[in-house]
A and B are shown apart, each in its own frame.
Chain A
Amino acid sequence: MNFDLVMSETPKFKVTIDTISVEVPAGTTILNAARMIGGDVAPPTMCYYSKLKDSGGKCRTCLVEVSKGSEKDPRPMPKLVASCRTTVMDGMEVKNITSEKVLDARKGVVEFLLINHPLDCPVCDQAGECDLQNLSYEHGTEATRYEFKRRTFEKEDIGPYISLHMNRCIMCFRCVFTADQLTEKREHGILERGDHAQIGTYLNKALKNDFIGNVIDVCPVGALTDKTFRFKNRVWFTKPVDAHRNCSNPKCCGHVRLWMRGDEVFRVTARKDEWGEVETRPDGTPGWICNECRFEKKQTKDWVIEGPALIPRSSVIAQGHYVGTKKTPVLIDKVIGKEPQYQLNIHDISDVNKPEIELSKIAGPAHSDDFNK
Chain B
Amino acid sequence: MGVKLLLANDGVEGIRYYDTYRKNGGYTTAEKALKMSQADIVEEVKKSGLRGRGGAGFPTGMKWSFLAKPEGVPRHLVCNADESEPGTFKDRYLMEFHPHLFIEGLLISSFALGSNRTYVYIRGEYSWIPDILNQAIAEARNAGFLGKNILGSGFDCEIYVHRGAGAYICGEETALIESLEGKRGNPRMKPPFPAIQGLWMRPTVVNNVETIAAVVPIIAMGGDEYAKIGVGKSTGTKLMSACGNINKPGVYEIDMTISVEEFIFSDEYCGGIKNGKRLKACIPGGSSVPILPANLLLKTAKGETRMMNYESMSDGGFATGSMIGSGGFEVLDEDQCIVKHTMTLARFYNHESCGQCSPCREGTGWMYKILKNLEYGHGKLSDIDLLWDIQRRIEGNTICPLGDAASWPVAAAIRHFRDEFEWHVKNPEESQKRNYGLAHYADPIHVAATA
- Contact status B399-A112, CB under 8 Å: no
Among B350, B366, B398, the residue within 8 A (CB) of A60 is: B398
Q: Which chain B residues lie closer than 8 Å to A189 at the CB level? A: 184
A79 interface residue (CB < 8 Å to B): yes
A85 interface residue (CB < 8 Å to B): yes
Q: Which chain A residues lie closer than 8 Å to B386 at the CB level? A: 145
A145–B397 Cα distance when bound, in Å, is 20
- Contact status A193-B189, CB under 8 Å: no
Among A60, A85, A116, the residue within 8 A (CB) of B359 is: A60
What's the nearest-Cβ distance from chain A to residue B191, in Å? 9
Q: Which of A3-11, A102-110, A222-230, A319-327 contacts B (4 or more CB under 8 A)?
A: A102-110
- Contact status A109-B361, CB under 8 Å: no
What's the nearest-Cβ distance from chain B to residue A57, in Å? 4
A216-238 to B contact mask, C-beta < 8 Å, 1/0: 00000000000000000000000
A window 86-141: CB within 8 A of B: 104-105, 107-109, 111-113, 115-116
A330 interface residue (CB < 8 Å to B): no
- Contact status A63-B362, CB under 8 Å: no
- Contact status B353-A194, CB under 8 Å: yes
A112 with B396: in contact, given A58-B356, A59-B357, A194-B354 (CB under 8 Å)? no
A190–B355 Cα distance when bound, in Å, is 10
B window 327-372: CB within 8 A of A: 350-359, 361-366, 369
A52 interface residue (CB < 8 Å to B): no
A195 interface residue (CB < 8 Å to B): yes
- Contact status A113-B184, CB under 8 Å: no
B202 interface residue (CB < 8 Å to A): no
What's the nearest-Cβ distance from chain A to residue B175, in Å? 11
- Nearest B residue to A151, CB-CB: B365
A202 interface residue (CB < 8 Å to B): no
A109–B390 Cα distance when bound, in Å, is 10
A342 interface residue (CB < 8 Å to B): no
A58 with B359: in contact, given A194-B352, A195-B364 (CB under 8 Å)? no
A227-268 to B contact mask, C-beta < 8 Å, 1/0: 000000000000000000000000000000000000000000
- Contact status B397-A109, CB under 8 Å: yes
- Contact status A108-B353, CB under 8 Å: no
A112 with B355: in contact, given A57-B189, A79-B396 (CB under 8 Å)? no
A189–B167 Cα distance when bound, in Å, is 18
- Contact status A58-B167, CB under 8 Å: no
A171 interface residue (CB < 8 Å to B): yes
A304 interface residue (CB < 8 Å to B): no
State how many residues of chain B have any CB contact under 8 Å with chain A: 28
- Nearest A residue to B349, CB-CB: A194
A190–B186 Cα distance when bound, in Å, is 11
Q: Which chain A residues lie closer than 8 Å to B399 at the CB level? A: 57-58
What's the nearest-Cβ distance from chain B to residue A146, in Å? 7
What's the nearest-Cβ distance from chain B to residue A347, in Å? 39
Q: Which chain B residues lie closer than 8 Å to A112 at the CB level? A: 358-359, 361-363, 366, 393
A278-296 to B contact mask, C-beta < 8 Å, 1/0: 0000000000000000000
Q: Which chain B residues lie closer than 8 Å to A331 at the CB level? A: none
A80 interface residue (CB < 8 Å to B): yes
A108 with B354: in contact, given A60-B359, A116-B362, A193-B167 (CB under 8 Å)? no
B window 373-413: CB within 8 A of A: 386, 393-394, 396-399
- Contact status A195-B361, CB under 8 Å: yes
A193 with B362: in contact, given A60-B397, A80-B396, A80-B397 (CB under 8 Å)? no
Q: Which chain B residues lie closer than 8 Å to A195 at the CB level? A: 350, 353, 355, 361-362, 364-365
A108–B393 Cα distance when bound, in Å, is 6
- Contact status A109-B359, CB under 8 Å: yes
A72–B351 Cα distance when bound, in Å, is 43
- Contact status B362-A115, CB under 8 Å: yes
A104–B397 Cα distance when bound, in Å, is 11
Q: Which chain B residues lie closer than 8 Å to A56 at the CB level? A: 189
What's the nearest-Cβ distance from chain B to residue A39, in Å? 24
A193 with B355: in contact, given A116-B362, A146-B366 (CB under 8 Å)? yes
- Contact status B189-A85, CB under 8 Å: yes
A193 with B397: in contact, given A58-B358, A145-B386 (CB under 8 Å)? no
- Contact status A171-B366, CB under 8 Å: no
A192–B362 Cα distance when bound, in Å, is 14
A115–B364 Cα distance when bound, in Å, is 12
Among A85, A108, A190, the residue within 8 A (CB) of B397 is: A108
- Contact status A194-B355, CB under 8 Å: yes
A318–B212 Cα distance when bound, in Å, is 63
A190–B361 Cα distance when bound, in Å, is 14
A window 149-192: CB within 8 A of B: 170-171, 173, 189-190, 192
A104–B390 Cα distance when bound, in Å, is 11
What's the nearest-Cβ distance from chain A to residue B223, in Å? 30
A173–B189 Cα distance when bound, in Å, is 14
A82–B364 Cα distance when bound, in Å, is 20
- Contact status A171-B397, CB under 8 Å: no
Among A105, A113, A190, the residue within 8 A (CB) of B393 is: A105
Q: Which chain A residues lie closer than 8 Å to B363 at the CB level? A: 112
A316 interface residue (CB < 8 Å to B): no
- Nearest B residue to A170, CB-CB: B358
A115–B386 Cα distance when bound, in Å, is 14
Q: Which chain A residues lie closer than 8 Å to B369 at the CB level? A: 148
A197 interface residue (CB < 8 Å to B): yes
- Nearest B residue to A116, CB-CB: B362
- Contact status A59-B365, CB under 8 Å: no
- Contact status B396-A60, CB under 8 Å: no
A171–B357 Cα distance when bound, in Å, is 8
What's the nearest-Cβ distance from chain A to residue B62, in Å? 18
B304-323 to A contact mask, C-beta < 8 Å, 1/0: 00000000000000000000
A6–B355 Cα distance when bound, in Å, is 46
Q: Which chain A residues lie closer than 8 Å to B364 at the CB level? A: 194-195
A38–B167 Cα distance when bound, in Å, is 42
- Contact status B353-A193, CB under 8 Å: yes
Q: Which chain B residues lie closer than 8 Å to A80 at the CB level? A: 396-397
Q: Which chain B residues lie closer than 8 Å to A109 at the CB level? A: 358-359, 393, 397
- Contact status A105-B397, CB under 8 Å: yes
A347-369 to B contact mask, C-beta < 8 Å, 1/0: 00000000000000000000000
A307-343 to B contact mask, C-beta < 8 Å, 1/0: 0000000000000000000000000000000000000
- Contact status B354-A60, CB under 8 Å: no
- Nearest A residue to B403, CB-CB: A60
A80–B359 Cα distance when bound, in Å, is 13
Q: Which chain B residues lie closer than 8 Å to A57 at the CB level? A: 189, 357, 399
- Nearest A residue to B382, CB-CB: A145
- Nearest A residue to B369, CB-CB: A148
Q: Which chain B residues lie closer than 8 Å to A58 at the CB level? A: 356-358, 399
A50-85 to B contact mask, C-beta < 8 Å, 1/0: 000000111111010000000000000001101001
Of the A-B pairs whose beta carbons lie under 8 Å apart in the complex, a sample of 14, sorted by A's number, is: A58-B356, A58-B358, A60-B358, A60-B398, A79-B397, A105-B393, A107-B393, A109-B359, A171-B358, A189-B184, A190-B184, A194-B350, A194-B351, A194-B365
Q: Which 7 A-B pairs have the closest CB atoms?
A: A108-B393, A197-B355, A112-B362, A194-B353, A195-B365, A57-B189, A194-B355
**New A-B contacts (4) at CB < 8 Å, excluding given A170-B358, A193-B169:** A56-B189, A145-B386, A171-B358, A197-B355
